């Protein structure tokens, strides 16, 4: 949503049909299946350069690796999803020779809040679509079970429902 707000071209990678459809609905130009030559297709879609910026929210080792491999020289990669210490990072070829900037994002900086609120104010319809399901607390188990299927975006528990 933030990337589309900034008029960036968004290419997404996801294996679940529900999430792929939601990514298109939220403005992704194309959604690639990670198992079908995603790196090669990303290269093709970027004229052989690679993507400028890559963001992983899944925490899957393969997704971390795809972000590193599909990003252009001197590009930027951000990991939000955690996968422990399993991501194979080759410091010399991945970071030094390729010149990547790699950041982890566990928190936000208060200096960025004004800009974040501007995006939120101007993207409310898209942000509303991030929440796909709402459950009362009495159905917490059903909420967890749905989340485990992957056939959803964000699932919210409403204590007042």
User: Do residues 30 and 101 share a domain?
Assistant: yes
pTM (predicted TM-score): 0.84
Q: Containing domain of residue 85, as a range?
A: 2-129
What does the pLDDT look like over 89-102, one tens digit per residue?
899 999 999 999 99
Are 52 and 75 in contact by the 8 Å Cβ rule? The answer is yes
User: Do residues 16 and 61 share a domain?
Assistant: yes
- In terms of DSSP bridges, do strands 154-158 and 30-32 run parallel, antiparallel, or are they unpaired? unpaired
Phi, psi for 133 (deg, rounded to 5): -145, 145
Domain total in the chain: 2
What does the pLDDT look like over 25-59, one tens digit per residue?
999 999 999 988 999 999 999 999 999 999 999 99
**What pLDDT does residue 61 have?**
92
Where in 26-136 does DSSP place strands (E)? 30-32, 51-56, 71-79, 101-104, 131-136
Instruction: Retrieve residue 100's tokens.
Output: 């990547």
């Amino acid at each position: 949503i933030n990337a589309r707000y900034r008029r960036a071209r968004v290419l997404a990678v996801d294996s679940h049909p529900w999430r792929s459809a939601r990514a298109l609905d939220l403005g992704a130009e194309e959604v690639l299946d990670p198992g079908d030559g995603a790196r090669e297709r990303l290269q093709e879609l970027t004229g052989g350069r690679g993507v400028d910026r890559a963001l992983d929210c899944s925490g899957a080792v393969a997704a971390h690796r795809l972000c590193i491999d599909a990003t252009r020289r001197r590009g930027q990669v951000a990991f939000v999803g955690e996968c422990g210490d399993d991501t194979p990072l080759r410091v010399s070829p991945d970071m030094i020779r390729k010149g990547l900037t790699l950041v982890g994002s566990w928190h936000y900086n208060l200096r960025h809040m004004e800009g974040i609120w501007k995006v939120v104010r101007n993207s409310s319809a898209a942000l509303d679509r991030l929440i796909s399901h709402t459950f009362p607390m009495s159905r917490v188990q059903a909420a967890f079970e749905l989340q485990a299927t992957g056939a959803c975006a964000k699932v919210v528990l409403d204590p007042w429902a």
